[in-house]
Amino acid sequence: MTKLEEKPIINKEIFNVDVNIFELVQKVYDKNFNREKNKIGCSELPHCARKTIISRLFNIPSKTNMKMLHGKIHHSIIQEPKILSNLISSIYQQLAIKKKEINVITEKHLIYEILPGKFLEGHVDIFTDDFLFEIKTTSVPLEYSKEIVLFYYVQTNTYLKLVNLTLGFILCINLRAFQSDMTNLSNIWKKYGYIIPIHFNQELYNKTIEKAILMFKFIDQNEFHITGPEFKWECKNCSKEIKEICLKEQKKEFS
């Protein structure tokens, strides 16, 4: 298992900002969540391979729209210009890197061909010349907080390779932690958000690419008899439609 450094490193006052929630919600609905069979999203790489394959074969989104909506709202909060600029300069200060000009790109699109005509696709949430950020929301029970960061490490590590960087950060917020504070978005990040530094790990990257290649092979063969998730909570969080197909097939496999 990949080892993590646990070092929250920024002053959370940077999240003190107003946002227009209605505009953010509109942006989310404007996006198309369906993916094509010849593409796997980097965000899908940590998930149960079976789930991703079923999602492609039966054209079912692997996350509910509400989960995606929550995620996108928090992405948009962190990508608000004022928060973004405070966040990036705070990190540069702490890394003791002096720059004349800081280049920041949000939603940097990546596409990488891993087999002929088969691609990994992703959007780096925040990208600079020296590090990147992956913004995450989760609804996994709090007792799995450590595991969920290891889970997201897979995606962030893949991005690091694809953009040729060695340092990244995961900004994570657990949606279960703040249900009673839903009315104040600034407070949510200040109280419940955390940031974990990630260093590129070649071994993990190799394993991730092997898994992606295997998933493409299964999709091409129109079948999903492949090992399930690494973490138990994934089945609890699996979408109802996908779980039904998975369990039906499992019954056949064991009968």
**Binding region for ligand SF4 (CB under 6 A):** 48, 50-51, 54, 228-229, 234-235, 238, 242-243, 246
HSE toward the beta carbon, residue 84, CA cutoff 13 A? 22
Q: Which residues contact 28 (CB under 8 A, 6 or more apart)?
A: 68, 69, 72, 73
Q: Which is nearer to ligand SF4, 17 or 57 (CB)?
A: 57
Q: What is the CA radius of gyration of the chain?
A: 19
Residue placing its CB nearer to ligand SF4 in the complex, 171 or 246 = 246
Q: Which is nearer to ligand SF4, 49 or 135 (CB)?
A: 49
Find where tokens 């394993």 sit. Answer: 207
CB of 52 or CB of 201, closer to ligand SF4: 52
Residues 43-61: b if buried by 16+ CB within 10 A, e if exposed: bbbbbbbbbbbbbbeeebe
> How far apart are CB 62 and ligand SF4 at their closest, in Å?
9
Q: CA distances (Å), 225 to each of 35, 63, 124, 214, 247, in order?
A: 21, 21, 31, 11, 11
- Cβ neighbour number for residue 69 with a 10 Å cutoff: 16
Task: Compute the least distance from the CB of residue 223 to ligand SF4, in Å.
Answer: 13
| Shortest Cβ 222–ligand SF4 spacing (Å) | 16
**Residue 48 Cβ vs ligand SF4, minimum distance, rounded to whole Å:** 3
Please state the closest distance from residue 241 (CB atom) to ligand SF4, in A: 10
CB closer to ligand SF4, 15 vs 151: 151
